Amino acid sequence: MHRRRFLGLAAAGTAASLGDLGFLARLPRVSAADAALDRRMVRLHPSIEPLVRLLEETPQERVLEEVAARIRRGLTYREVVAALLLAGVRNIQPRPVGFKFHAVLVVNSAHLASQASPDGDRWLPIFWAIDAFKRSQLADVRSGDWSLGPVDEKAVPAAGRARAAFERAMDAWDEAAADAAIAGLARSAPPQEIFELLARYGARDFREIGHKAIYVANSFRTLDAIGWEHAEPVLRSLAYALLDRDGAPGNPAGADFPADRPYRHHLGAVSRIRSGWLGGSPSAAASTGLLRALRQATPLEAGEQVIAQINDGVAPASIFDALFESAAELMMRAPGILSLHATTFTNAVQYCWRRCRDDRTRQLLLLQNAAFLPLFRGGRTTGVEIDRLEPAAPAGEGPAAIEEIFGDVSRDPLSASRKMLAFLARHPDPAPLADAARRLIFLKGTDSHDYKYSSAVLEDYALMAPPLRDRYLAASAFYLKGTGDADSPLVARTRAALSG
């Protein structure tokens, strides 16, 4: 991005955004042909089925134009997001819970990015996610063309027996029984009851480097946005994903695999957590102490550290601050996919923790989050220490400082991180930095992780206590996009498609 354009954008905000991404308003009229539904695939809610088929059957090179035409004729944002999630759920195998399945996992992140954007930019993350779905759909076809089939109606338990049947199936890792039981739950139980169950199973094991918990959080958040009439196929896909054994040589229910050990230990360990545990006091010193302990701790030691802090009267919010900081430090030490998921997993667990009401489930989530961070460490125990990060003032002020910071993101992330820390000390409102970071993801993001990571960081910053949160946001410079990064090919493609 040219320096002058970026400075003008940062200074003018929404007005500049309309000039830079104004092509999004020029939506052409394109019609779509109807097609027959494959009876081997699960049927969706009648209100959304035609739009889902449009996404499924339109070639990638035409799908943006087709959707844009319908938006001009009255198609709503909510309908597009609903169809996008359901098309992914029906067409992309959630095993492994990552790789091509990121087309489903990223829907909530794209939605969060849209919610936080000016009106003129709001469609771009969703259009990016539509294109990601088409790429993942093609990858799924190449690897066997999986689709979510109809549930075995004869096996679906009655309403009063669905919960017990689901827990038995999940504990036994029984896929067929879990599929029928979750369908029964979707038809009879309130969303909160279902969420409490799935949140626990999402954090049960470390297979798929945290993607199971991420899928739990993202699917429920998206269902909240699009409507629970669409829940059953999403929950069936989710249950199937949570039972992925990731190549385990046997059934985890009857084995002792490393991925399952922290959860089994913590099932008993939560009994040692004091009553009144939610009423602790915030403590920045305790957060820093836990952060430092996590640098060397084993998974079980990490959980024990959390129990000790809770029993010493430390507030769970301060413990989560340490978990956020630890994840961010891993990104600074080794930017990449493994450390990135330490952040997006912690973001997902924190959301589940906030939404859950059952004390035991919330305690398990907190302990599992702590125990998994050493596994994201990848054997590294030395490197940059986030609590020792020193600020370095940018040469410029205001928009010029922001431009300087995001120029360094492309060239020297550590310098960008230090300058971001200094900027936040002078300007406690992170909105200018967050807005610039988000816009650069729109313009230059090329991967689902760009959206997932940035959405997680910008959300979690608001949950943290100062001054720890400033270091957390500053660490994100190691994976955000900078002004020197290449523009996303999708932006150019979308501009060309919508300007005709």
Digit-coded pLDDT (tens) for 302-357: 999 999 999 999 999 999 999 999 999 999 999 999 999 999 999 999 999 999 99
pLDDT value for 379: 78
Question: What distance in Å separates the CA atoms of residue 99 and residue 442, rounded to the nearest whole number?
Answer: 21
Digit-coded pLDDT (tens) for 353-392: 999 999 999 999 999 999 999 999 987 888 999 999 999 9
pLDDT value for 495: 66
Query: Hey, how many other C-beta atoms are within 10 angstroms of the C-beta on 278?
Result: 12
Question: What distance in Å separates the CA atoms of residue 230 and residue 142, rounded to the nearest whole number?
Answer: 27
- Number of residues assigned to the chain: 500
Contact criterion met (CB below 8 Å) for 369 and 323? yes
| One-letter amino acid for residue 167 of the chain | E
What value does the mean pLDDT of the chain take? 90
pLDDT value for 17: 33
Those residues with Cβ within 8 angstroms of residue 356's Cβ, 6 or more apart along the chain or in another chain: 195, 196, 199, 362, 365
Of 13-17, 157-161, 487-491, the one with minimum mean pLDDT is 13-17
pLDDT value for 275: 96
Question: What distance in Å separates the CA atoms of residue 300 and residue 304, rounded to the nearest whole number?
Answer: 6
Question: What distance in Å separates the CA atoms of residue 124 and residue 130, rounded to the nearest whole number?
Answer: 10
pLDDT: which is higher, 40 or 462: 462
What's the rounded mean pLDDT across residues 490-496? 71
Digit-coded pLDDT (tens) for 64-96: 989 988 988 899 999 999 999 999 999 999 999
pLDDT value for 36: 34
C-alpha to C-alpha distances, 337 to 201, 226, 276, 381, nearest whole angstrom: 23, 29, 38, 18
Question: What distance in Å separates the CA atoms of residue 165 and residue 420, rounded to the nearest whole number?
Answer: 51
Query: Hey, how many other C-beta atoms are within 10 angstroms of the C-beta on 366?
Result: 26
pLDDT value for 378: 85
Digit-coded pLDDT (tens) for 10-49: 444 433 332 355 555 554 332 323 223 344 678 898 999 9
pLDDT value for 489: 82
Digit-coded pLDDT (tens) for 204-256: 999 999 999 999 999 999 999 999 999 999 999 999 999 999 999 999 999 99
pLDDT: which is higher, 316 or 428: 316
pLDDT: which is higher, 53 or 124: 53
Nearest to 20 by CA among 440, 432, 401, 399: 440
pTM of the model: 0.91
Those residues with Cβ within 8 angstroms of residue 184's Cβ, 6 or more apart along the chain or in another chain: 156, 157, 158, 159, 161, 162, 165, 166
C-alpha to C-alpha distances, 316 to 79, 305, 342, 370, nearest whole angstrom: 37, 13, 18, 12
Q: Which residues face 314 on adjacent strands?
A: 281
